[in-house]
Amino acid sequence: MRHLRSGAARARGSLAVEAALLMPVLFGVGVLGSDLYRIGVTRGELEQRNGSLTLTLAMQRALTAPGLDALAAVGTQDAPGRYELVILSVRQSGRVNWGFRRGQGGALCDLPVSGGLYTAGLPEAPPDDAGAGEDGSDFSYIVVRSCRSTADITLAGGVSWPGVLQVSTVQRAVVLAPALDEALTLENVATGLAYSES
């Protein structure tokens, strides 16, 4: 009888030791899962806001400075000081009609523009020479790149987290060259993002 009791006590002791050894592993997996969930939620929110902003801008035939500022404020509402938005109207050929930067986060985005030409990929191939526009373009795109600093997001599990999250969305515009009000026209010249023949 005594032998059975000591065997059961040994089994309970062995189980307690195994549980104690397993607890840090389970805790680490939980923390890692929490970090990955937070990264996914943050990126998902950024993608959703960026997509909505791009779609809204693509439906505009004309754009005003107050309207663009209001849309940018909605796109950066959770942490305005942590964002930069690059907003472009790009012809099918890759020429930039106009481009703006918004947000209080500073220069966070990699600019996809060089010499007035959009350098990232577009959904459709550039046109042949026989198109509706002077550069052969039949249509244009609105491209919005949202960049968010992650300095305010702390992760408990030590997961590698980039300093800046960047998301780009491309949407076909309803007009070839959405018109700008006077303030945006002047700003467009100042940014130097738009294509110029000179």
* pLDDT tens digits along 9-52: 666 667 777 777 877 777 777 777 777 787 788 889 889 999 99
Report how far apart, in Å, the C-alpha atoms of 92 and of each of 18, 124, 143 are: 63, 7, 12
Output the pTM of the full model: 0.80
Give the best-scoring range by mean pLDDT among 22-26, 111-115, 133-137: 111-115
129 and 101 in contact (C-beta within 8 Å)? Answer: no
Give the best-scoring range by mean pLDDT among 7-11, 79-83, 131-135: 79-83
188 and 88 in contact (C-beta within 8 Å)? Answer: no
- Sorted by where each begins, the domain ranges of the chain are 2-191
Residue position matching structure tokens 């106009």: 98
Worst-scoring range by mean pLDDT, 23-32, 51-60, 78-87, 178-187?
Answer: 23-32
In this predicted model, which residue has the larger pLDDT, 146 or 24? 146
* pLDDT tens digits along 89-107: 999 999 999 999 998 888 8
Report how far apart, in Å, the C-alpha atoms of 194 and of each of 69, 124, 174 are: 19, 20, 19
Residue position matching structure tokens 């960026």: 50
54 and 142 in contact (C-beta within 8 Å)? Answer: yes
